[in-house]
Amino acid sequence: MTVIKYSQAIRDAIAEEMRIDQNVFVMGQDVETMGGVFGCTKGILEEFGHDRIRNTPISEAVIIGAGVGGALTGTRMLVEMQYVDFILHAMDQTINQAAKVRYMTGGKATVPLIIRAQQGSGRGNGAQHSQNLEALFCHMPGLKVVMPSTPYDAKGLLKTAVRDNNPVLFFEHKVLYNTKGEVPDTDYTIPFGKADIKRSGKDVTVIATSWMVLKALEAAEILEKQGIDAEIIDPRTLVPLDKETIINSVKKTGRAVIVHEAHEVCGIGAEIAFIIMELAIDWLDAPVKRVTSAQAPIPYSSKLEKLTIPSVDRIIDAVKEVMYIK
């Protein structure tokens, strides 16, 4: 095992898959020498050349449109969006084309396309560069949605995505790029649809995604000192979603708190909460609680941004609420 940054895990996964399969191709804005806006492809040009990695115009419709075309003609396309917010310029290519081609051709055509997109707040990037849009794509059949929270998960899940024959939305959080964690030195993959129990506990289940996993773990350490044992579950992939692990945990603890950075209305937390109500209502000792960002654009001001997104204190308060502790 080697301790590396989240960004390095992304870069290593891409390079390793390019060595394994000569049909893997990388494309996006400034991905060659600059390595993309967060440096995740830096150094890949020197090894693989312009035939395998290519800068693009500033046009998300072109980037994803070309990605769909390349995937349909036998290339495993890894395309990068500088920010997830910009993918809205290519919704037709993503939702009407990539997501539907395999179904509409009866499986004769496949779309091995990975759209890497950086999302989330925490850096003062303002309302148009700080969104979390995973729920939009979870709604659309034909797309897989991945949200890794650790370097280990980022590398293993990205390698799985590259080998998948379906379009994958791979959402990386900007704040996580400099976080570090242990990653195996040998080749490995992580299957989609398998949640990870980041921390075992018996009193309450906290289901968290992406950066919020780290905040949930921090909250759990504080709660432990107060006599509350929280179990932290990271779904890792939202489509497919590991319902079994979530439900088994809720049946054990009798309480559930869902934490995600996206807005509350129609967020993935609503879907998970309803699944719990459908499959585990008889085991619940309290209503399911959600901790999300406020239903407002993310402010540029760092102080206002912190008030808008979930905090460790808000997670602690939510856990105490379902525990009926004042």
Question: What local confidence, expressed as pLDDT, does residue 106 receive?
Answer: 96
Q: Half-sphere exposure (CA, 13 Å, Cβ side) for 99? A: 19
* Rounded-to-integer distance, Cα 252 and Cα 195, Å: 16
Active site residue 129: yes
pLDDT of res. 325:
86
In the block, which residue shows the tokens 């004042």? 326
The answer to whether the CB of 32 falls within 8 A of the CB of 54 is: yes
Cis peptide bond N-terminal to 57, omega within 30: no
* Structural domains of the chain, with CATH: 2-183 (3.40.50.970), 196-322 (3.40.50.920)
Whether this model's pTM surpasses 0.75: yes
Residue located via tokens 């239903």 = 295
Annotate 175-193 with DSSP letters as a single string.
GGGG-EEEE-SS-----TT
Catalytic residue among 50, 89, 129, 263: 129
Is-contact 291 240, C-beta < 8 A? Answer: no
pLDDT value of position 127: 94
Residues 29 and 100: their CA atoms lie apart, in Å, by: 26
Residues of the chain with pLDDT under 50: none
Nearest to 257 by CA among 284, 226, 296: 284
Cα separation, 181 vs 166, whole angstroms: 28
Quote the tokens at residue 283. 């085991």
- Per residue in 222-246, pLDDT tens? 999 999 999 999 999 999 999 999 9
Bridge partner residues of 170 (DSSP) = 116, 146
- Helix ranges (H only) for the chain are 6-20, 44-48, 60-72, 91, 101-104, 134-138, 151-163, 211-225, 243-253, 268-280, 302-308, 312-322
